[in-house]
Amino acid sequence: MLDKNISQLIDILNPDHFTINKTDLISVSHDESSLDGVIPELLIYPETSQEISNIIKFCYKNEIKITTRGAGTSLEGNSIPVKGGIVLDLSKMKQIIELRENDLQISIQPGIIYKELNDFLKPYGLFFPPSPGGSSDIATIGGMVSTNASGIYSVKYGGTRDYVLKLKIITGTGEVIDIGNHCVKSSSGYHLVGLLCGSEGTLGIITEITLKLKGLPENYKKIAYSFPEENKAVSAITEMIKYGLDISAVEYLDRHCISALNNLKSYGLEENPVIFLELQGSEESIESTLSYINTICNDYNAKELILKNNQNPWEIRHHTTTSIKLLKKDHTIIRNDIAFPISKLSILVEKCYDLAKEYNLLVHTFGHVGLGILHVLILADKNNKTDWNNAQKMNETIIEYAINLNGSTSGEHGIGISLKKFMEKEHGKALDLMIGIKKVFDPKNILNPDKIFPNQN
Ligand SMILES: Cc1cc2nc3c(=O)[nH]c(=O)nc-3n(C[C@H](O)[C@H](O)[C@H](O)COP(=O)(O)OP(=O)(O)OC[C@H]3O[C@@H](n4cnc5c(N)ncnc54)[C@H](O)[C@@H]3O)c2cc1C
């Protein structure tokens, strides 16, 4: 039976914009993490800011919990409605509000998918760079802003936050507020836009987004190298970054990732660690950067990897997470996406293999490492208590190790549910400031509750 408040909320909704069908509710109960889902009581597909404002005002009055959702591809339980209540699915809010070509800016609704946006921009010679590695064809721009997502091109162009100029948000009281402006640089007041980026739906619901754009590069070259050892591959990347080479994308995959990819897609790749690179610019600048890269790779005993049928390395990279997920039946992924200063990359990768050996677990390391982000995916059998506990312990050790090296719990996936316990260690007293800010935007804690902060329901 429906809760009385939820029934009253339904009475004020557009009848075409909600469902209480069990299958629909189950479809939004989980994200792409391996955490258990929670079924909400009501799923709403709003289409305008005013509609959302009315819903939030009702929820504020009646203390109904709300979880906002884009495509549900988050990896840390960020979009799981842990407290039940309602899910606001914004995937139908897909309008391009205005393209301002001369300013290299676009204003859009949040439900547009990353790839859809760039397909729209291509004929104008423009693009929005921070392409998330394996979810670019599903993740919404609203979800990317809310997690401050990054991707393969972020080593050159930066993450999502670097592109957001202005937002329309609905706060936890239902107030509609415009924050930011259309200026590429401004010194006017607090950077509220920066605060909302990466706030995981805990401060406000984002209903309009103005983004800066970049011009598409005139030329590009994609290239791959195979290394004899993981340590050599990551050391080569560290050196490329240290020397400030103009690299547009550099991705590292360890030998276990390559093995998982071969298993899923029969690529027939030699099972050694690889790096995939993309250079962009004039032909001369690409050639000049490439000669430095070749020298560095030679120093680390790499050989160029010729991909069969001219295969696009980014297509291979795209399947990495899925290939690991499907590798071992009955095994589950325990993951992290630590961030750190680039000089710590090889120490961290080494630590992961030492721990994998100690706990006898299969670990995969890969990611946008040029940016100082490493994804560590451990496979463990949930039904084998020792295996499962060891995997949890190993994951915690890696995250704490990264924090101790001046790193961060999350480079791009956000905190969600699974990483809350590391917030105090990473942020200390700054966590109290964050909790205070949450109260200003969402006084009754109805927006995506029980996320980011430990000990807060
Ligand atoms: C295979 C795979 C590969 C991935 N690769 C990358 C990668 O390379 N880089 C990367 O950064 N991430 C990656 N991710 C994680 C994920 O795709 C990103 O976090 C993405 O930005 C989430 O978008 P979404 O639309 O799915 O958001 P959701 O999962 O629906 O939501 C994510 C968070 O944002 C909040 N939210 C969503 N929309 C709004 C809104 N309009 N207003 C307020 N809050 C909102 C939700 O409440 C939730 O907390 C990957 C995921 C998968 C499954």
Instruction: State which ligand 1 atom lies nearest to the alpha carbon of 73.
Output: 26
Whether residues 10 and 150 share a domain: the answer is: no
Q: Which domain holds residue 167?
A: 96-215
Handedness of CA 108, 114, 118, 120 (dihedral sign): negative
In a domain, 389, yes or no: yes
d(C-alpha 294, C-alpha 161), whole Å: 33
Residue 186: how many CB atoms within 10 A of its CB? 12
Instruction: State which ligand 1 atom lies nearest to the alpha carbon of 141.
Output: 25
140 lines ligand 1 (CB under 6 A): yes
d(C-alpha 322, C-alpha 132), whole Å: 14
88 lines ligand 1 (CB under 6 A): no
Residue 333 Cα, ligand 1 centroid: separation in angstroms? 18
91 lines ligand 1 (CB under 6 A): no
Is residue 368 helix, strand or coil?
A: coil
Instruction: State which ligand 1 atom lies nearest to the alpha carbon of 31.
Output: 29
In angstroms, what CA-CA distances link 371 with 153, 247, 287, 327?
9, 11, 22, 27
134 lines ligand 1 (CB under 6 A): yes
Question: Contact at 8 Å (CB) between 270 and 384?
Answer: no
411 lines ligand 1 (CB under 6 A): no
- Among 91, 121, 153, the domain boundary falls at 91
Phi/psi of residue 18, nearest 5 degrees: -150, 165
- Among 91, 126, 153, the domain boundary falls at 91
β-strands 331-339, 373-381: how paired? antiparallel
32 lines ligand 1 (CB under 6 A): yes
Residue 144 Cα, ligand 1 centroid: separation in angstroms? 5
Whether residues 120 and 195 share a domain: the answer is: yes
d(C-alpha 88, C-alpha 170), whole Å: 12
132 lines ligand 1 (CB under 6 A): yes
Instruction: State which ligand 1 atom lies nearest to the alpha carbon of 93.
Output: 41
d(C-alpha 440, C-alpha 433), whole Å: 11
In a domain, 444, yes or no: no
CATH number, residue 26: 3.30.43.10
Question: Tens of pLDDT along the chain (457 residues)?
Answer: 788 999 999 999 999 999 999 999 999 999 999 999 999 999 999 999 999 999 999 999 999 999 999 999 999 999 999 999 999 999 999 999 999 999 999 999 999 999 999 999 999 999 999 999 889 999 999 999 999 999 999 999 999 999 999 999 999 999 999 999 999 999 999 999 999 999 999 999 999 999 999 999 999 999 999 999 999 999 999 999 999 999 999 999 999 999 999 999 999 999 999 999 999 999 999 999 999 999 999 999 999 999 988 899 999 999 999 999 999 989 999 999 999 999 999 999 999 999 999 999 999 999 999 999 999 999 999 999 999 999 999 999 999 999 999 999 999 999 999 999 999 999 999 999 999 999 999 999 999 999 999 977 5
- Among 215, 239, 268, the domain boundary falls at 215
The closest of 431, 418, 440, 427 to 74, measured between CA atoms, is: 418
Residue 365 Cα, ligand 1 centroid: separation in angstroms? 21
172 lines ligand 1 (CB under 6 A): no
DSSP element (H, E) containing 211 = strand 205-212
Phi/psi of residue 31, nearest 5 degrees: -120, -155
Whether residues 273 and 341 share a domain: the answer is: yes
Query: What is the chain's Cα-based Rg?
Result: 22
With tokens 């979880």, the residue in question is 67
365 lines ligand 1 (CB under 6 A): no
In a domain, 417, yes or no: no
Phi/psi of residue 97, nearest 5 degrees: -80, -50
In a domain, 198, yes or no: yes
DSSP element (H, E) containing 315 = helix 313-318
In a domain, 391, yes or no: yes
Ligand 1 atom 18: the closest Cα is on which residue? 74
What letter does residue 447 receive in the DSSP assignment? B
Domain count, the chain: 3
Torsion of CA 397, 402, 408, 414, to 10 degrees: -40
CATH number, residue 240: 3.40.462.40
Residue 285 Cα, ligand 1 centroid: separation in angstroms? 34
79 lines ligand 1 (CB under 6 A): yes
